[in-house]
Amino acid sequence: MTVDPSNPDTLTNRQGHPVTNNQNMRTVGNRGPATLENYDFIEKISHFDRERIPERVVHARGAGAHGYFETYGTAGNDPVSKYTRAKIFQDKGKQTPVFVRFSSVIHGGHSPETLRDPRGFAVKFYTEDGNWDLVGNNLKIFFIRDAIKFPDMVHAFKPDPVTNIQDGERFFDFCSNSPESFHMVTFLYSPWGIPANYRMMQGSGVNTYKWVNQSGEAVLVKYHWEPKQGIKNLTQKEAGEIQASNFNHATQDLYQAIERGDYPEWELLVQLMSDDEHPELDFDPLDDTKLWPEDQFPWLPVGKMVLNRNPEDYFTEVEQAAFGTGVLVDGLDFSDDKMLQGRTFSYSDTQRHRVGANYLQLPINAPKKHVATNQSGGQMQYRLDRAPGQNPHINYEPSTLGGLREAERSGTEYTPLIEGKLVRETIERHNNTKQAGDTYRKFEEWERAELISNLVGDLAPSDKRIQDKMIALAEEADEEYGRRLRDGLAHAFQGGSSQKPLGNKDGDKAPEQAVRKGHEAEPY
């Protein structure tokens, strides 16, 4: 069957040339050898060789969807304008397009979605003032409070550099020597460490940000996404049973729900606090290892998000999607949270490395408004960020010759007073274990039992010194928590290997089981 080369569904190469034979390369006779001028083959295979971009160091495994955010125009009972002039939150019923990427954190791009791990929850809002990225996790706190420790934390949680196997002893070696991590460890080793899927998990901005109003007044803010579908978590046993039959279950669940019209929804709530140090609290409000008590800082609903469209192509939209904590719009600002400050450089910097200098020209990342900059060049540039009528000779500012001009300020600038000595010190109010104890006591008994069982399973093969440090942290958090962990370790089998996925009690036995259960075969 012949096809008109001008037909739009005709197969072409990247130069637009119609491909008349996609089954056979050009050879000398039908047995070869091949010739060097095989342009269609060389273009096809050389692109195939390059069709993967560098995998994300963290959050490599992900799924995504499009939708919209609808603002309520209020924060609780107050007009939202009292706290922020960000246009996305004004005018009740106003809708803003969004793209959301959910992910796991430590493991690679095709790792099972049942592994014990935090989950990423990143939202890109395509606002009228440009993009806003709210980059967070399902759990509302983090392991560390200073960004200088982030590479060490990730190295400890990643597979061993020699064996390439995740190792619980390495994980607890870092955490036992970083006591601020104990609250996060308590959540991670409970059922909250394995969400049932992406639709039925919470989201959080984790870090503290600021809202700024028209008068230039600021408040501290924390963001919370609450799923309308309810929250569901898995035990280690249940996760293992699901993984045995499907390691893509969360991606499949999200995709199929949207395809059948069961659009997932989340309500966005915020907690607000005056912008000062709050010495009356037993923690620092900028400490991302801490929760803000809801009874003191109530959750105020400000809008809802609906995901109603699946990506048309996974790589183009989900894999190339690039988020950064520094991507804020007018009315939103940074706090002095040291993790946020470090993330703000790291996130966008890694996207320039991973996707390229012009990653913001890709449709999934580009704002849905006109862009005009004096930046140009770099790999894969395919348009100029020019304004209509801009003098093409003028790629600098200021200029009187038809170049770009600065925008007018939309409100009073926020100008906080910053003073103090330059130091390398931790914050004063550590209180590393109190909230971990509060969290333990709020768990239901089955959650506490699962937490202890999972901790014992991973700590039992670990160095005794690491065990003792973790027991001490648990005892400091809650007497019962510490006693149950100590008793569990005292009665646990101390042999075996720590080289297995976190929380997987029998993972170290899998190599021997494969040999024992394998069926013999003759060579062929």
Catalytic residues: 59, 137
- Contact of 44 with 13, CB cutoff 8 Å: yes
User: Which of 165, 157, 229 shows the shortest CA–CA distance to 193?
Assistant: 157
Closest by CA to 462, choosing from 88, 168, 122, is: 168
Mapped onto helix, strand or coil, the DSSP state of residue 269 is strand
Distance in angstroms (rounded) separating the CA atoms of residues 151 and 155 = 6
Non-local (6+) Cβ contacts of 50 within 8 A are none
Question: What is Dmax (Cα atoms) for the chain?
Answer: 85
Q: What is the DSSP letter of 502?
A: T
What is the DSSP code (8-state) at residue 75?
A: E
Task: Supply 356's token pair.
Answer: 């390229």
Measured CA distances, 426 to 1, 208, 284, 359 (Å): 73, 17, 11, 35
CB 492 within 8 A of CB 461: no
The pairing of strands 119-127 and 332-334 is: unpaired
Q: Which two tokens stand for residue 186?
A: 């308590």
Contact (Cβ atoms closer than 8 angstroms) between residue 337 and residue 206: no
Structure tokens at 371: 């862009």
Query: 117 vs 125, 166, 206, 292, 399, CA distance in Å?
Result: 26, 12, 16, 23, 52
